[in-house]
């Protein structure tokens, strides 16, 4: 259920972009795709992963980038 819930903002943005910002060239098409991908990644991160998973992935991402560990969105868990 969580992945379907996380996809709702993606679908709404896709429909809105298609109606409000029609593509006339390849560059604007890829800009639309980039916006949609950023939204789906953010929604999946927040909705589909629990606090421990976000923390683990944050540590792994920071280690890949050679940086320090960052906080993994220490917000409340509405679906857990």
Q: How many CA atoms lie within 13 A of 5 on its CB side?
A: 9
32 and 10, same structural domain?
A: yes
11 lies in the same domain as 37: yes
Note down the domain range covering 66. 50-80
Going by C-beta distance under 8 Å and a sequence separation of 6 or more, which residues neighbour residue 13? Answer: 35, 36, 39
Side-chain-facing half-sphere of 73: CA atoms under 13 Å: 17
Residues 6 and 37 in one domain: yes
Residue 77 backbone phi and psi in degrees, to 5 = -105, 95
What is the value of pTM for the model shown? 0.63
pLDDT tens-digit series, residues 18-73: 899 888 999 999 999 999 899 988 888 888 888 898 888 888 888 888 766 555 55
Contact criterion met (CB below 8 Å) for 74 and 44: no
Number of domains present in the structure of the chain? 2
Tokens matching residue 35: 């916006």
């Amino acid at each position: 259920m969580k992945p379907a819930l996380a996809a709702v903002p993606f679908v709404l943005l896709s429909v809105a972009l298609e109606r409000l910002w029609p593509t006339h060239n390849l560059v604007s098409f890829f800009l639309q795709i980039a916006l949609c991908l950023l939204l789906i990644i953010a929604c999946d991160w927040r909705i589909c992963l629990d606090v421990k998973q976000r923390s683990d992935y944050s540590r792994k991402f920071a280690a890949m980038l050679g940086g320090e560990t960052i906080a993994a969105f220490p917000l409340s868990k509405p679906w857990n």
